[in-house]
């Protein structure tokens, strides 16, 4: 059996240090806030090239806090993509704003910058873009559009810790960025967790207040703002601090496995993920496209190889997110990707021989059936 993910492997690699960190927090009695959380904020912000970090209890909370800190209000419009994990879009709803979808570039799975301006209205306040699967969106044209139209740029970097775009790191390219430490992410907690990063002190202060009931740190029960209980537990911060120094090493491993998949799959009848020149894709997911996706997934499963579909429906076609403004056919690239994407086993503790087995199975299966690539690569 080749597993899609191996979450215990990271623990085994760092067991002694993680056990010590957990014991340290338990002995301290400081379970909420305190040194572990502020140290993680500083260390992760520095890693991402940002001045400020605000730890919180999930990537979804980070998105909610980012939109609030940026002053997004009911009636405002926020441009985003229909091909993402739905937390991106849900968070826009939490502040009462309206998501406005822009289709993706099927080669990169990220927002197509050439389609953004047509979606801007007098009510547009922000662009909430996603660095999907671990690759940064094409930021320069996006930043240019945002500057010209005075829009806030929020990065959903939930899948992109350490990803780079022309020398800049995810988390410090837009105005605010949101990370998830959900266990399956490249940097994952032993539970839920998230972080907002920004170079803007005002945004960081507002997000830090809202994260903890609107209270200043030493002024309990006198909230300055109506806030939330979105705090990151100190135990999670301590575990993440042990893992963070290993992240670069784990990213290198993922990139090496991705390069091997690329090499071994170059003649298979599938479309490989396209990494933008001048960037660093961190392969939170290695996602191919294939016309007969479900048959390939079943074939892999029969051979003992796990795979996953991220995501089988674009947001505008999800019954829970139905919106009278949108219908099937409105976002052809997102819809095509939802029909054809398949994520292959990818984690920092995979082995080259497992990558070879997966690739050879895909080559065999895709030559038996005609899994023609469906959308041409750039």
**Pairing state of beta strands 168-169 and 164-165?**
antiparallel
Q: Cα–Cα–Cα angle for 93, 94, 97, nearest 5°?
A: 45
CB closer to ligand PLP out of 85 and 250? 85
DSSP string, 326-377: --TTSSHHHHHHHHHEEEEP--TT--HHHHHHHHHHHHHHHHHTT----S--
Query: Residue 130 and residue 88: Cα distance in Å, rounded?
Result: 8
Question: Which residue sits closest to ligand PLP, CB atoms considered?
Answer: 59
Query: Residue 340 and residue 335: Cα distance in Å, rounded?
Result: 9
Q: Residues in the site for ligand PLP, rule: CB under 6 A?
A: 58-60, 84-85, 87-88, 130, 156, 158-159, 180, 182, 192, 194
CB closer to ligand PLP out of 55 and 130? 130
CB closer to ligand PLP out of 186 and 269? 186
CB closer to ligand PLP out of 180 and 236? 180
CB closer to ligand PLP out of 152 and 291? 152
Please give the sequence-ordered ranges of beta strands (E in DSSP) within 85-151, or none if there are none. Answer: 98-101, 124-130
CB of 320 to ligand PLP, least distance (A): 16
Q: Which two tokens stand for residue 292?
A: 């007969």
Q: Evaluate whether 191 touches 207 at the Cβ level (below 8 Å).
A: no
Kindly state the helix (H) or strand (E) to which residue 19 belongs, with its residue range.
helix 15-28
CB of 111 to ligand PLP, least distance (A): 12
* Helix pair 293-302, 352-368: axis angle to 10 deg: 130
CB closer to ligand PLP out of 107 and 158? 158
Could you tell me which residues are beta bridge partners of residue 154? 128, 176
CB closer to ligand PLP out of 158 and 268? 158
CB of 132 to ligand PLP, least distance (A): 6
CB of 194 to ligand PLP, least distance (A): 5
CB of 47 to ligand PLP, least distance (A): 18
CB of 130 to ligand PLP, least distance (A): 5
CB of 216 to ligand PLP, least distance (A): 26
Cβ-based neighbours of 331, under 8 Å, separated by 6 or more: 82, 83, 101, 103, 104, 314, 316
């Amino acid at each position: 059996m080749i597993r899609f993910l191996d979450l215990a492997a990271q623990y085994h690699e760092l067991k002694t240090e993680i056990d010590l960190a957990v014991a340290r927090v338990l002995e301290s009695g400081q379970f909420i806030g305190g040194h572990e959380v502020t140290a993680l904020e500083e260390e992760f912000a520095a890693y991402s090239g940002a001045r400020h970090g605000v730890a919180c209890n999930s990537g979804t909370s980070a998105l909610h806090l980012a939109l609030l800190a940026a002053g997004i209000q009911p009636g405002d419009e926020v441009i985003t993509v229909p091909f993402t994990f739905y937390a991106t879009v849900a968070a826009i709803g939490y502040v009462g704003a309206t998501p406005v979808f822009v289709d993706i570039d099927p080669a990169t799975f990220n927002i197509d910058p050439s389609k953004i301006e047509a979606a801007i209205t007098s009510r547009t306040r922000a662009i909430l873009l996603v660095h999907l699967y671990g690759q940064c969106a094409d930021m320069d044209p996006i930043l240019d559009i945002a500057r010209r139209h005075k829009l806030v740029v929020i990065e959903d970097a939930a899948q992109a810790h350490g990803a780079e775009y022309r020398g800049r790191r995810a988390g410090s390219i837009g105005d605010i960025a949101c990370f998830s430490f959900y266990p399956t992410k490249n940097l994952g907690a032993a539970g839920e967790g998230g972080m907002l990063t920004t170079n803007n002190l005002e945004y960081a202060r507002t997000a830090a207040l809202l994260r903890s009931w609107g209270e200043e740190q030493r002024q309990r029960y006198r909230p300055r703002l109506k806030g939330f209980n979105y705090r990151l537990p100190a135990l999670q911060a301590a575990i993440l601090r042990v893992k963070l120094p290993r992240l670069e090493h784990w990213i290198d491993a993922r990139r090496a496995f991705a390069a091997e998949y690329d090499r071994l799959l170059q003649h298979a009848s599938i479309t490989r993920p396209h990494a933008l020149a001048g960037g660093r894709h961190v392969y939170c997911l290695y996602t191919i496209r294939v016309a007969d996706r479900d048959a390939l997934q079943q074939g892999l499963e029969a051979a003992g190889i796990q795979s996953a579909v991220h995501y089988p429906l674009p947001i505008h076609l999800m019954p829970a997110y139905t919106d009278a403004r949108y219908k099937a056919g409105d976002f052809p690239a997102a819809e095509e990707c939802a029909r054809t994407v398949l994520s292959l086993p990818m984690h920092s503790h995979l082995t080259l021989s497992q990558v070879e087995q997966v690739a050879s199975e895909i080559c065999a299966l895709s030559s038996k059936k005609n899994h023609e690539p469906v959308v041409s690569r750039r």
